[in-house]
Amino acid sequence: MKKARIEIIPLIDVVFFLLATFVLFTLSLNKIQAVPLNLPVANPNPSSKPDEDSVTLQVSDQGTCYWNKELITIQEIRPRLNQYKTQVPTPRVLIAGDDKARFGTAVLALDEVRKAGIEQVSVETVVRGTGK
């Protein structure tokens, strides 16, 4: 009489098949949710100059700011923004920072622009030198 033996290789095949089935099943349960975005379109002409009416507000690492390359203090931002808003029909502000500017100062400048009621605000993502 022959002794019965259990073959392990078909058992491994069945276990891998069940594992792959469960993995594919659990992946199909995840719903991919997305938020619709309207992304800005890049300017096709990179050599064009920015608007003459726009203002560049650069934040430096010293806690000071530059209003179109003119050194000002943080306390001067709000009066200048209010004056700028009365002079220009569609005020635009570009907030930039030098390579060591602190995030808190940039947020303070952005908050001052919001308090002034200026809606067209851009944040520059390219690092510039201080005061440039």
Domains of the chain: 55-123 (3.30.420.270)
Burial of residue 77 (number of CB atoms within 10 Å: 0-12, 13-18, 19+) = buried
pLDDT digits (tens, 9 = 90+) for 56-65: 888 888 878 8
pLDDT at 105: 82
pLDDT digits (tens, 9 = 90+) for 22-31: 998 888 777 7
Compute the 3-state secondary structure of the chain and give helix, strand, coil in percent, each to the nearest 5: 35, 15, 45
* Rounded-to-integer distance, Cα 61 and Cα 90, Å: 30
Read off the DSSP letter of residue 114: H
* Rounded-to-integer distance, Cα 115 and Cα 126, Å: 25
